Amino acid sequence: MTLCDRVLEWLPYSEPFLFVDGFDHIDENGASGHYTFRHDQSFYQGHFPGNPVTPGVILIETMAQIGLVGLGMYLELLRRTGRSEPKKSESLPSTDNSVDGSGGVDYSESVRELPSLSQAPGLAFTESEVAFLHPVLPGQTVFVRSEKIYFRLGKLKCRVEMFLREGSKNTVRVCKGRMSGMILPPPPTNDFPSKEGSTSTEQGTSTEEGLSTEQDRSTES
């Protein structure tokens, strides 16, 4: 399993709201990935009838899932576990490189040591400022690339761009902007009984003790 495969497993989304087919690269500086919009996706029915165009909010969500959430979960796991980045980390691929999903590096032992989905941290998408430059139509594949601006105190801010591939080298930029997110705190644990539970137990014990005392008195009489 590659590192990109593991990060894809961590994403807290599922169909029909998962807009990531795969990550092509991820390291401490950024992430890249791709997604193909299908002709049968429901939002095309109303946006627009007879002239389907991918809604801008869906493009923003796709950018966030690939360029912000996946990267943020990876960075937070490195921080929590005290691990350094795997040694085979490479720089982000240029738009001329292959982004067909085969670009994930197999980190072997490093990947197997990373936590499973149940232990993966959450990240909330908090802010975006995006400029739209080109429409995306049904059936087209978009590529997203992000660059970390900062990650500190549980807050991540990135530069993110989306583009289309036309031919082997020509690319068309779809949108670009900045996005921010915040790491969610881990869920609370129930290591101790609730106050109500303790009270009920104590009351039950007191009642039992009272009955025992009364029975003893009756016997003595």
In tens, the pLDDT along 105-126 reads 444 445 555 655 556 778 889 9
Residues 37 and 61 in one domain: yes
| Residue 205: domain span | 188-221
Query: Looking at the structure, do residues 114 and 19 belong to the same domain, yes or no?
Result: yes
Q: Are residues 96 and 197 in the same domain?
A: no
Residues 157 and 214 in one domain: no
Q: What is the spatial distance between Cα 175 and Cα 56, in angstroms, rounded to a whole number?
A: 9
Considering the domain architecture, whether residues 148 and 214 belong to the same structural domain is answered as no
Q: How far apart are CA 199 and CA 156, in angstroms?
A: 44
CATH label of the domain that carries residue 110:
3.10.129.10
Split into its structural domains, the chain has a count of: 2
Q: Are residues 135 and 206 in the same domain?
A: no
Q: Answer for the pair 101, 93: CB distance below 8 angstroms, yes or no.
A: no
Helix (H, G, I), strand (E, B), or coil: what is residue 168? Answer: coil
Closest CA to 160 of 139, 142, 141: 142
The answer to whether residues 29 and 112 belong to one domain is yes
The type of residue at 150 is Y
The two structure tokens encoding residue 30: 């950024």
Side-chain-side CA neighbours of 62 within 13 Å: the count stands at 28
pTM of the model as a whole:
0.73
Task: Verify that 140 and 207 share a domain, yes or no.
Answer: no
Is residue 33 a contact partner of residue 93, using CB atoms and an 8 Å limit?
A: no
Mean pLDDT of the chain: 78
- Banded model confidence at residue 156, pLDDT cuts 50, 70, 90: very high
Which tokens hold the place of 127?
């802010």
Q: What is the dihedral sign for C-alpha 158, 161, 162, 163?
A: negative
Catalytic residues, which ones? 47
Most confident of 50-59, 89-98, 165-174: 50-59
User: Are 118 and 198 contained in the same domain?
Assistant: no
Burial of 184 (0-12, 13-18, 19+ CB in 10 A): middle
In the prediction, which pLDDT does 151 show?
Answer: 95
Closest listed residue to residue 23, CA positions, set 59, 58, 88, 70 = 70
Same domain, yes or no: 111 and 192: no
The answer on 106 and 7 residing in a single domain is yes
Length of the chain counted residue by residue: 221
Instruction: Tell me what pLDDT residue 189 has.
Output: 55
Three-state secondary-structure class, residue 105: coil
Shared domain for 204 and 152, answered yes or no, is no
Looking at residue 3, what is its pLDDT?
85
At 167, is the pLDDT very low, low, confident or very high (cuts 50, 70, 90)?
Answer: confident
